[in-house]
Amino acid sequence: MLHRRITQFLLIYILGLGLLFGLKGVLSLSDYVIPGPMGVWQTGKAEFLRYLKDVLNTFLVAVIGQLLSILMAFTVGILGRRATWFGSFIKVAAYNVQAYPIVAIAPILFILLGDGFLTRLIIAAMICYFPLLLSIIGIMSEPVSDIEHFYRVTGRLRWQLEVKIRAFENLNKLTTVIAGSATLAMAGTIVSEFIAANAGIGYSIRIALYQSDLSKILVALFLIGITLSIYQGMLELIGAGVKKAWAAG
């Protein structure tokens, strides 16, 4: 799983680079618009360590933000799984929070909370949370009739068991959604850094943009991509491990 993720990323990155270099050649563009392969290589050598630190900084915030959003999404998903008044109220409230585009709210958060860790974390969690919520509500609202019926008629179906059954039966889906949300958490953190923070790879990308330096951006994209691929591959491995353990138990 891990190596497949890394191979897929490398393939896409190389294809993307090839496309850019192809465009550069066909349209005879200068290094200012699209840098040459040597330019990207030199920048990569010069900036690798600095950018790696920035990416790890961003990654740390993204992982914590993702954990926070998983927690929020599961809480809302479990509370809102029932077709009761309270369930629908929770769902509507959770949807409404997402109605405001985060890029509009982000500057207010930065003004209120400053440009430190907390703001980045909240923005990452907010961007990551909604798609997770949609999937988790979908999964948790759908009864697994074959299994639940038995426990229901015997009067042993408590909410914990109901959630466990639904989660287990949809573990593949959940693993895919959680692994996919890692990308969103990372993107959310980068967006927040780009908008206002003074740390992380999003901030470095902004500086590179100021300097009109596409080489630096390509190096940053490589590091972001490879870090995310490894992380997603690991999440998938963990998901497979959890399923195996549950099945054995």
Partner 1 sequence: MEPSCRLFRLATGMALIFMAAALAAPLPATAQEKMAYRLKWLINASTAGDVVARQQGFFSREGLDVAVKAGGPERDAIRELELGYAQFGVASADQVIRALAKGAPVVVLAQLFQVNPLQWIYRPAEFTLTTVRDLAGRTVGVTYGGNDETIMRALLATAGMDKGQVKLASVRYDYTPFFQKAVPIWPVYRNTQGIFLADKLKANGEAVAFFDPSRHGIRFVANSVVSSQQMVDHHMDTVRRFTRALFGRLAGRHGPGQRGRDDCRHCRARPRYRQCGHAPSAGRYPSDDSTRPGHPHRPHRYGRLEADRSDHAGPTPNRQARCRRHLAATASGPIADSAGDTNSCLMDS
Residues that bind partner 1 (CB under 8 A): 27, 29-33, 35, 107, 110-111, 115, 196, 198, 203, 206-213
Could you tell me the two tokens for 146? 């074959």
Closer to partner 1 at the Cβ: 109 or 185? Answer: 109
Closer to partner 1 at the Cβ: 29 or 64? Answer: 29
Work out how close the CB of 111 gets to partner 1 at its nearest, in angstroms, rounded to a whole number.
5
Closer to partner 1 at the Cβ: 32 or 85? Answer: 32
Work out how close the CB of 228 gets to partner 1 at its nearest, in angstroms, rounded to a whole number.
23
Closer to partner 1 at the Cβ: 136 or 197? Answer: 197
What are the backbone dihedrals phi and psi of residue 101, each rounded to the nearest 5 degrees, phi first? Answer: -65, 135
Q: Is the dihedral of CA 116, 119, 124, 127 positive or negative?
A: negative
Closer to partner 1 at the Cβ: 77 or 200? Answer: 200
Cβ 219 vs Cβ 48: under 8 Å = yes
Work out how close the CB of 212 gets to partner 1 at its nearest, in angstroms, rounded to a whole number.
6
Q: Kindly list the distances between the CA atom of residue 31 and the CA atoms of 21, 28, 34, 123, in Å, as whole numbers in the listed order.
A: 10, 10, 5, 35
Could you tell me the two tokens for 52? 């790696």
17 CB-near residues (< 8 Å, 6+ apart)? 37, 40, 218
Work out how close the CB of 177 gets to partner 1 at its nearest, in angstroms, rounded to a whole number.
31
CA atoms within 13 Å, Cβ hemisphere of 20: 18
Work out how close the CB of 227 gets to partner 1 at its nearest, in angstroms, rounded to a whole number.
23
Instruction: Tell me the C-alpha distance between 42 and 24, whole Å.
Output: 18
